[in-house]
Amino acid sequence: MNLHLTHARAVTRREFLSRNGKLGLGAIALQTLMPQGFSTGPQMANALTAKASPLPSKVKSVIYLGMSGAPPQHDLFDWKPELVKHHLQDCPEEFLKGQTFAFIKGRPKLCGSPYKFKQYGKGGAWVSELLPHFTKIVDDVAVIRSMNTDQFNHAPAELFLYTGNMRSGAASMGSWATYGLGSENQDLPGFVVLLSGGTDPTGGKSLWGSGFLPSVYQGVQCRAAGEPILYANNPAGMNGETRRRSLDALKALNEGEAAQFGDPETVTRIAQYELAYRMQMAVPEVMDITKEKQDILDLYGAKPGEASFANNCLLARRLVEKGVRFVQLFDWGWDMHGTGPDTDLTTGLPKKCLQVDQACAALVQDLKQRGLLDSTLVIWGGEFGRTPMNEARGGGTLLGRDHHPHSFSMWMAGGGVKAGTSFGETDELGYFVTQDKITVRDLQATIVHLMGFDPYKFSYKYQGLNQRLIGPSNEGQIVKGILS
């Protein structure tokens, strides 16, 4: 026996605290520093068990349709005839003074939309000819034309919108939802992410990360084509019985570690292994859209076996129907700078609208006909807006719009949302919001409210602070004008 080592261990703080047990002063002090919900024992309630919201709410599930890259609102929802009238004329100086742009240099020209608009529905919402299918659901949605953010680059703007912080490390909106409400299906993830457009959103996987929340609440990325979840299936040479024995052995080891160290992430690891085992059967079934009737496939424009936004919208309906709490779709390709044919307003934008318009309308229609719209909150939009000026980067001749934080458009539908509403106004050129401004913080507060929580009290203690989706201040306000 090494007497020097034994003596050194005996005088360390760690040894002292461990010998004093759970009733020692060290354990008591340590407990005050632990995150909310931390347990020192191996037996924790299932973190994803469905919970009732503390406030009355119709919403059981959320589907967020994230148009990554920021759609140009002037060509979709914010009709500006004065902008068309002054197309390619110099932008007024008052709109440029003190403003910072991502790419525009010098004094740009105004850019009127090349598309025709008409008013639809009881709210008289202006809708572009690029969105013919959307006109069929305009009385089921609230169109918002007065969104505002303080970020004008993609990654920080997306992080700010979906996590409440423009830097990585905060909890995503879907993680907050599953933290607060759990999931109604224990065989599926509570928070599912589906991607289209050929790449991840600029903000990366942090947009569906759990941040400071336990990792059991992070989003699980699924694929519409191929193996739905990578690495969930048994590897070659392992059958279900062998996998079950392996998981039982791992569970015993992890429970022993949890009992000794009390790390909640160890308990999370146990739960995630078990969920992965159950998902081997449940996920392929719910992701198999060949089981849908042909008229439903045609409604969405979905084609089994393809990776597409249309397929993802149909999958989103199937997932919430099975009790998944939060489904996040990201569709990349909306960064219409006019630097090439794919980002030109006259060639690239119609293609993107064709890819999403039918499926978005079908999702709302399908939820409604199944009696799910009242219990599902559907949100559509990008991370910021586009300028009313033509970018013309490097003297280019194509039509495109730079990043614009001061105003943009989005729409919401479903539980608690005032259907048939056209909300907010911008100035005659669509540059600044002039009526009913909604900030990102306002939007977050409203979504949290619709899920049945007080946005000012819905929090998680971390690093000595009550962390919230809406941030540390109470600047975010619930937008009552879009609530039913």
Closest CA to 342 of 477, 143, 482, 198: 198
How many beta carbons lie within 10 A of that of residue 256, not counting itself? 12
Element (H, E) at 8: helix 3-10
Question: Is the CB of residue 359 less than 8 Å from the CB of residue 315?
Answer: no
In the three-class reduction of DSSP (H, G, I as helix; E, B as strand; rest coil), residue 162 is classed as helix
| Residue found by looking up tokens 């690029």 in the block | 130
Question: Is the CB of residue 139 less than 8 Å from the CB of residue 121?
Answer: yes
Question: Is the CB of residue 460 less than 8 Å from the CB of residue 171?
Answer: yes
Closest CA to 72 of 323, 368, 407: 407
Residue 8: CA count within 13 A, CB half-sphere: 5
Per-block mean pLDDT, blocks of 10 residues, the chain (484 long): 53 53 44 45 66 95 98 98 97 91 94 97 94 98 98 97 96 98 91 95 96 93 69 63 68 72 68 60 80 97 93 97 97 97 97 98 98 98 98 94 98 96 97 98 98 98 94 96 96
State how far the Cα of 140 lies from the Cα of 135, in Å rounded to an integer: 10
Question: Is the CB of residue 114 less than 8 Å from the CB of residue 29?
Answer: no
State how far the Cα of 114 lies from the Cα of 42, in Å rounded to an integer: 63
Question: Is the CB of residue 415 less than 8 Å from the CB of residue 61?
Answer: no
Positive or negative, the Cα torsion across 312, 66, 356, 153? negative
Question: Is the CB of residue 467 less than 8 Å from the CB of residue 460?
Answer: yes
Closest CA to 407 of 379, 430, 380: 430
Pull the structure tokens for residue 136: 């069929």
Per-residue confidence (pLDDT) for residue 276, from 0 to 100: 59
Distances (CA, A) of 407 to 71, 123, 235, 252, 434: 12, 20, 50, 55, 10
Contacts from 236-243 at CB under 8 Å and sequence distance 24+?
240/280, 243/277
How many beta carbons lie within 10 A of that of residue 221, not counting itself? 18
Residue 332 zone, left/alpha/beta (φ > 0; ψ -120 to 50; rest): beta
State how far the Cα of 47 lies from the Cα of 60, in Å rounded to an integer: 17
Distances (CA, A) of 420 to 99, 139, 147, 276, 430: 35, 4, 18, 41, 22
State how far the Cα of 308 lies from the Cα of 79, in Å rounded to an integer: 29
Q: Give Cα 123 distance to the centre of its chain.
A: 27
How many beta carbons lie within 10 A of that of residue 427, not counting itself? 16
State how far the Cα of 72 lies from the Cα of 268, in Å rounded to an integer: 41
Cα end-to-end span (Å), the chain: 74
Distances (CA, A) of 197 to 205, 214, 316: 15, 30, 16
48-51-57-62 Cα dihedral, nearest 10 degrees: 10
